Amino acid sequence: MDNTDMKQIQWFPGHMAKTRRLIAANLKLVDAVAEIVDARAPLSSRNPEMDSLTRGKPRLVILNKCDLADEKATQSWINYFKNNGAEAVAVDCKSGKGLKNILPAVKNKVLAELMAKREKNGMTGAAVRLMVVGIPNVGKSTVINRLSGAKHAKAEDRPGVTRTKQWVKLDKSTELLDMPGVLWPKFEDQEVAIRLAFTGAISDDILDIETLAAKLLYFLAQGYPDSLRERYKVEPEPEMTGFELLEAVGKKRGMMISGGEINTERAAITVIDEFRSGKLGRITLEMPQKRE
Ligand code: G4P
């Protein structure tokens, strides 16, 4: 992929350093860490330092937005995380599917040893404390709000906005620590940035919208050709470029500008919007084996 036309994405080392210190300082207050990722791109939507930042703490990976992800791929990702030492559950905050599995997974699996120890020592009343982390837009606030049944202040993860950590009491035996901070993913890897631009996690102006949509269409033609057939009645031929696919979509949708030219900008906006809202079907942008 030629990425020479990509704009430099901002990385905020100062904020990252602050977040790193904040996590390190608060780890001793919690029993486990719940890391929320986007099920459509479970590795790209992680902060690459999370493993080392939370070293030693039992961990649960929450694959959120699984309503938008390929079900089979989500299962492969759950297995991937399990094989790599973390429990994992799939969640869909739109319908609430999977939410009820989070706390049992924490108590019965992630913290099974601790819970057994507490039981033995007659400390079953002690609360379980869970730190919740995630890069912006994975749905951290939504998950916390749905678990607590209340609307909490939206985490301000924008650089320059200071927000203190927040404890959220779920019930007598569970407390969440909603960690603020700029936990950006690994932006040096441009494939990662492109996946996050597809999902809308980062601003899509890293690339012009037509290039972004062309890249997405090319990916879909390879991995999910039926999504193009069903939604746009476009038959992806093997030799077609992303831009040709974009033109085909614009043509099928009758998006023309005067002079018979195809309005590829409008087509691009449509494709990106429809992908993000799930209208192209359930799609996962990366598979475990390709990145292991
Ligand atoms: P953050 O705290 O991690 O930054 O994310 P936040 O909860 O604000 O969620 C980001 C967007 O993702 C929101 O949409 C939210 O509704 C959506 N979202 C969260 N969980 C799920 C899920 O499981 N499935 C789907 N399909 N979407 C989810 P938004 O467009 O920013 O706002 P709105 O549409 O809710 O108004």
Q: Are 93 and 99 in contact (CB under 8 A)?
A: yes
Q: Which of 161, 178, 195 finishes a domain?
A: 178
Q: Is residue 38 part of a domain?
A: yes
> For the domain that residue 238 is a member of, what is the CATH number?
1.10.1580.10
* pLDDT of 291: 46
Is any atom of ligand 1 closer than 6 Å to the C-beta of 255? no
Shared domain for 221 and 154, answered yes or no, is no
Strand partners, 175: 129, 169
* pLDDT of 164: 66
Candidate from 93, 178, 283 with most ligand 1 atoms within 8 A of CB, to mutate: 93
Strands 174-178 and 166-171: antiparallel
Q: Which of 130, 163, 178 finishes a domain?
A: 178
Q: Which of 163, 178, 193 finishes a domain?
A: 178
Candidate from 142, 184, 273 with most ligand 1 atoms within 8 A of CB, to mutate: 142
User: Ligand 1 center to residue 34 CA distance, Å?
Assistant: 17
Is any atom of ligand 1 closer than 6 Å to the C-beta of 74? no
Q: Is residue 6 part of a domain?
A: no
Domain that holds residue 276: 208-290
Shared domain for 26 and 160, answered yes or no, is yes
* pLDDT of 41: 97
User: Ligand 1 center to residue 178 CA distance, Å?
Assistant: 16
> For the domain that residue 130 is a member of, what is the CATH number?
3.40.50.300
Is any atom of ligand 1 closer than 6 Å to the C-beta of 94? yes
- Cβ neighbours for 232, distance < 8 A, ≥ 6 positions apart: 248, 249, 252, 253
What distance, in Å, lies between the first and last C-alpha atoms of the chain? 20
Shared domain for 162 and 255, answered yes or no, is no
Is any atom of ligand 1 closer than 6 Å to the C-beta of 75? no
* pLDDT of 213: 97
Q: Is residue 184 part of a domain?
A: no
The tally of domains found in the chain comes to 2
The residue nearest atom 31 of ligand 1, judged by CA position, is 137
Q: Are 26 and 131 in contact (CB under 8 A)?
A: yes
> Can you list the residues of the chain whose pLDDT is less than 70?
1-15, 151-164, 181-187, 204-205, 290-292
Beta strands in 81-194 (DSSP E): 87-90, 128-133, 166-171, 174-178
Q: Is residue 2 part of a domain?
A: no
Residue 262 CA to residue 289 CA, distance in Å, equals 38
User: Ligand 1 center to residue 142 CA distance, Å?
Assistant: 6
Residue 136 CA to residue 142 CA, distance in Å, equals 11
Query: What are the pLDDT digits (tens) for 26-54?
Result: 999 999 999 999 999 999 999 888 888 88
